[in-house]
């Protein structure tokens, strides 16, 4: 199954988030730098421009070594149109809360798509 989706050994988790989110995941061991010296994370702060977040997201979606992109929902909202345009299954995009912004399931475009795939009768 994993090989049919294009997943191989050693795929990475990428993170686009605030300093606390990135630090937590880096301490958990997700931090990597590829052969081109590109990290698999972007720390977003008050000085980060929206186009920098877009460029990083585009870079992560085109890298062969990334299987999952974790993005704080507050930053996903800034590039919502890019996330909704992305239709490939890999890398999977997961929106996560940040310390200052709680998760709002009504904003999560991936969750809305998943809800549309199933009806209540499917779980009985």
Token pair listed for 76:
């996903």
The predicted pLDDT at position 10 comes to 80
The predicted pLDDT at position 124 comes to 62
The predicted pLDDT at position 3 comes to 44
Note whether 34 and 11 are within 8 A (CB): no
pLDDT tens, per residue, the chain with 124 residues: 344 445 556 889 999 999 999 999 999 999 998 888 999 999 999 999 999 999 999 999 999 999 999 999 999 999 999 998 998 989 999 999 988 877 777 777 766 666 666 665 655 6
The predicted pLDDT at position 12 comes to 93
């Amino acid at each position: 199954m994993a090989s049919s989706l294009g997943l191989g050994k050693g795929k990475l988790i990428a993170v686009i988030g605030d300093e606390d989110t990135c630090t937590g995941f880096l301490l958990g061991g997700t931090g990597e730098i590829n052969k081109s010296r590109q990290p698999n994370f972007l720390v977003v702060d008050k000085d980060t421009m929206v186009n920098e977040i877009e460029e990083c997201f585009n870079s992560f979606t085109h890298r062969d070594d990334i299987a999952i992109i974790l993005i704080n929902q507050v930053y996903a909202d800034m590039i919502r149109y890019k996330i909704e345009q992305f239709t490939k299954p890999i890398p999977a995009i997961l929106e996560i809360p940040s310390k200052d912004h709680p998760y709002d399931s009504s904003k999560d475009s991936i969750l809305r798509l998943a809800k549309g795939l199933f009806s209540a009768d499917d779980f009985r």
